[in-house]
Amino acid sequence: MSDIFYHRLEDRGLITIAGEDRIAYLQGLVSNDVTRLSEGKAIWAALLTPQGKFRHDFFMCSWADDRILIDGEGDARMMDLGQTLRRYVLRADATLDIERTTAVFAVFGDGAIDAFGLPPEAGATGSVAGGIAFVDPRLPAMGLRVVAPAEATLGALEALGATAVDRDGYDRHRIALGLPDGSRDMMPDKAILLENGFDELGGADWKKGCYMGQELTARTKYRGLVKKRLMPVSFEGDAPENGTIIKLDGREVGEMRSSCEGIGLALLRLEALEKAQETGSAFLANDLELHPSKPDWASF
């Protein structure tokens, strides 16, 4: 049996951007360097509020030579992203549309990247099944994403002997690596990028120049103002609901985010982590004991 697994991400939405100004237009809006797309790289980026708070995150890649593809959250979140982007088009030669002919799959496991003929480099892209495959720009250990017609993609995955998993199977893999999943883990209009790994995971570029919300992001980095971090926690028992308050010695020190089957993500105060290490005190979500772990890629 193959050690390759896949899950169709039916909660994603796809937006395309065409026009001669598409790169320059997006460059002034998002947190990453959009010019890197011309190098055949996919990137992870965020759109912030003017005050520098998280609004949306998404993957971006070159699409059919003359368009940029945005892979973000679907349904109402996709509509909000599209409407927000349209407000800033102004006189730019940039046209937004919805991509309806393809589906999004997450593929992971031993040999997954190699099976698609890609190098294990963040953002590496290639053609597959009438669409595109790209190594997760955040962390190659997450595997890759395939954006292509569903039937053709399923045929390619079947030929590889890949095994379908449910959403929990995908989430277990993602959460163990400490990777956020959009608004499930980052509260719109409140979250700060650097609390959620955008620095180490390559979601923010520090040399590209100005973009919306850049000032707060840069100030947070260079003044060392990151006080909380999103990280995996393990537990025994039923998963706490998203938003459950986490306490240490009776004091509120964080909140739960997404979780499944004994593992979850929590936004925790760094000073509380230090205190717990010194005193041996336990983190509690209601009466459930949580055991935080620092991801290998994280620096804090």
**What are the pLDDT digits (tens) for 215-262?**
999 999 999 889 999 999 999 999 999 999 999 999 999 999 999 989
**Closest C-alpha among 110, 64, 78, 85 to residue 14:** 78
Say if 72 falls within a structural domain.
yes
Q: pLDDT tens digits, residue range 140-165?
A: 999 999 999 999 999 999 999 999 99
Give the residue from 160, 177, 194 where a domain finishes. Answer: 177
162 and 210 co-located in one domain: no
Say if 168 falls within a structural domain.
yes
Total tally of structural domains belonging to the chain: 2
Token pair for residue 247?
């306490």
Say if 212 falls within a structural domain.
yes
Residue 38 — very low, low, confident or very high, per pLDDT cuts 50/70/90? confident
142 and 216 co-located in one domain: no
Say if 298 falls within a structural domain.
no
Say if 300 falls within a structural domain.
no
Claim: this prediction has a pTM higher than 0.75: yes
170 and 120 co-located in one domain: yes
Residue 164: domain span: 4-177
Strand ranges (E), the chain: 4-8, 12-18, 43-48, 54-63, 67-73, 95-98, 103-109, 125-128, 131-135, 144-148, 163-164, 228-234, 245-248, 251-260, 263-269, 283-285, 288-292
Helical residues (DSSP H) of 164-242, grouped into ranges: 167-177, 214-222
157 and 14 co-located in one domain: yes
Say if 245 falls within a structural domain.
yes
Average pLDDT on 261-265 reads 95
CB contact at 8 A, 31 and 57: no
57 and 193 co-located in one domain: no
117 and 83 co-located in one domain: yes
210 and 158 co-located in one domain: no
Cα separation, 86 vs 72, whole angstroms: 16
241 and 270 co-located in one domain: yes
Give the residue from 146, 177, 208 where a domain finishes. Answer: 177
36 and 169 co-located in one domain: yes
Return the CATH number at 85. 3.30.1360.120
Return the CATH number at 278. 2.40.30.160
Cα separation, 71 vs 129, whole angstroms: 17
21 and 164 co-located in one domain: yes
Q: pLDDT tens digits, residue range 176-185?
A: 999 999 999 9
